[in-house]
Amino acid sequence: MSTAAAAAPAARAVGLTKSYGTGDTRVVALDAVDVEIEQGRFTAIMGPSGSGKSTLMHCLAGLDNAGSGQVWIGGTDLTSLNDKQLTRLRRDQIGFVFQSFNLLPTLTAEENITLPADIAGRRIDPDWLKQVVVTLGLGDRLRHRPSELSGGQQQRVAVARALASRPQIIFADEPTGNLDSRAGAEVLGFLRGSVDDLGQTVVMVTHDPVAASYADLVLFLADGRIVERLADPTADAVLARMNRFDGTRPTD
């Protein structure tokens, strides 16, 4: 890989604008957002309710169209792709983890992990799969069905499923929203491990300052704009920043 390629961001948006509705009911969900998601880093997206977090994540992940502006995943400009190409890119280059684990109840943990690759007719590198399973502490759970696993274990299976195809980037939408704090901490530790030990790139939307403190960088959104970036965040620093949103609209 050339130096330039190694330094290329995993995802990037330039002038990303997205609005819903028209006339009096028009809402600008994203207002000319410029952002780069660095490779091999864990980025959290935070901000008050309605600030545009989900819209940003959906546009970056090719789940929603940018109204205007451009979005890249690696070197690919999403706005240049048709629906079929976009579907393929999502399948091959993006991993998703949702708040509700979205596992198939009739399949074992291992079958859930390999399902997307099986459907795509792609082979998962067995050494990589083994590493993912070990990193996520799932070695002795692979034959269990979701109903035989705790919430935290189910979410770890979902993280392993996202990692299995070695995607360019993983998007996690409130991944600990349905977990108690102990299970949440475990899942966050494994997401952190997937960045540190496996070199993955993770972007996570969260409302929880403790969850955000696992990230390398927190992007704060307000009114559809990125208003602050906080590197090496502590939960206290994130909470202090979030509290500044209460009752006042940020001016920056």
Ligand X SMILES: Nc1ncnc2c1ncn2[C@@H]1O[C@H](COP(=O)(O)OP(=O)(O)OP(=O)(O)O)[C@@H](O)[C@H]1O
Of 36-44, 47-55, 161-169, 209-217, which part binds ligand X (CB under 6 A)?
A: 47-55
| Inter-axis angle of helices 151-164 and 181-196, nearest 10 | 20
CB of 52 to ligand X, least distance (A): 4
Minimum CB distance to ligand X smaller for 50 or for 250: 50
CB of 99 to ligand X, least distance (A): 10
Burial of 98 (0-12, 13-18, 19+ CB in 10 A): middle
Determine if 95 is a binding residue for ligand X (CB under 6 A): no
Minimum CB distance to ligand X smaller for 53 or for 225: 53
Are 13 and 60 spatial neighbours (Cβ–Cβ below 8 Å)? yes
Those residues whose C-beta lies under 8 Å from the C-beta of residue 60, and which sit 6 or more positions away, are 11, 13, 35, 37, 71, 73, 171, 203
CB of 31 to ligand X, least distance (A): 10
| CA 235 vs CA 100, 123, 180, 185, 209: distances in Å | 24, 40, 17, 13, 5
Rule CB under 6 A: choose which of 10, 37, 44, 47 binds ligand X.
47
Determine if 209 is a binding residue for ligand X (CB under 6 A): no
Minimum CB distance to ligand X smaller for 26 or for 123: 26
Q: Record the tokens describing residue 169, joined without a space.
A: 């980037």
Segment (H or E) for 17:
strand 11-20
Between vectors from CA 174 to CA 30 and to CA 172, what angle results, nearest 5°?
80
Determine if 49 is a binding residue for ligand X (CB under 6 A): yes
CB of 64 to ligand X, least distance (A): 9
Determine if 52 is a binding residue for ligand X (CB under 6 A): yes
Minimum CB distance to ligand X smaller for 74 or for 250: 250
CB of 215 to ligand X, least distance (A): 17
Minimum CB distance to ligand X smaller for 184 or for 224: 224
Minimum CB distance to ligand X smaller for 54 or for 70: 54
What's the CA gap between 226 and 241, in Å, rounded? 13
Determine if 50 is a binding residue for ligand X (CB under 6 A): yes
Q: Record the tokens describing residue 14, joined without a space.
A: 């330039």
- Give the count of alpha carbons within 13 A of 83, CB side only: 0
Determine if 153 is a binding residue for ligand X (CB under 6 A): no
Q: Which residues bind ligand X (CB under 6 A)?
A: 20-21, 27, 29, 47, 49-55
